[in-house]
């Protein structure tokens, strides 16, 4: 595990099952329709139960824009909230890097708005959406560092980037080490 303490909190990279994380909020790699799906999205809905999908349909019938995020309760997960962040599809969405950065910023803003002291992110957009993981990791780590540095609340936020594969973990650890090195 690689961990870096920054002004405003801590960011770490872990490998495992994000649905088992005991945090205030789990970030979901959602689609724009908030319709559930495969990968992380499917796992969160399966483990969290049908109340998450019911709430997304009731509160967000129009879905969520790419680069945005919305929050629901976490159902049967160990978290209090699920923050549904919609990342871009590589090679499909124009300006995918800016949209990915926006998805991370939006999710972090949702966490602050819901008074979360701890949250876990997956590797947004790097699965079925095809965003290159090395580029995604650099964007993600930069956005987390910027958000923690900009925090004015005085509260520390604990951010875990939870990857499923070893290769993704290594990419995020490399990006975090690069940030640490300056």
Instruction: Tell me the catalytic residues.
Output: 41
Distance CA 45, CA 35 (A): 10
Q: Smallest Cα–Cα separation from 139: which of 96, 182, 170, 110?
A: 96
Contact 31, 65 (CB under 8 A): no
- 25-30, strands of its sheet edge to edge: 2-6, 9-15, 157-163, 118-121, 25-30, 81-86, 69-73
Q: 């689609």: which residue's tokens?
A: 31
Distance CA 18, CA 122 (A): 7
């Amino acid at each position: 595990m690689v961990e870096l303490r920054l002004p405003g909190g801590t960011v770490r990279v872990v490998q495992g099952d994000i649905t088992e994380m005991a945090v205030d909020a789990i970030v979901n790699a959602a689609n724009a329709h908030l319709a559930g799906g495969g990968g992380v999205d499917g796992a969160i809905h399966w483990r969290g139960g049908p109340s998450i999908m019911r709430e997304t349909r009731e509160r967000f019938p129009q879905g969520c824009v790419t680069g945005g995020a919305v929050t629901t309760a976490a159902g049967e997960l160990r978290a209090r909230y699920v923050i549904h962040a919609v990342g871009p599809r590589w090679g499909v969405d124009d300006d995918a890097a800016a949209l990915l950065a926006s998805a991370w910023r939006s999710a972090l803003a949702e966490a602050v708005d819901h008074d979360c002291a701890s949250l876990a992110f997956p590797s947004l957009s790097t699965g079925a959406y095809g965003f290159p993981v090395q580029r995604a990791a650099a964007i993600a780590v930069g956005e987390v560092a910027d958000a923690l540095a900009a925090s004015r609340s005085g509260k520390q936020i604990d951010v875990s980037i939870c990857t499923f594969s070893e290769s993704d973990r290594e990419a995020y650890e490399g990006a975090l080490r690069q940030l640490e090195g300056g």
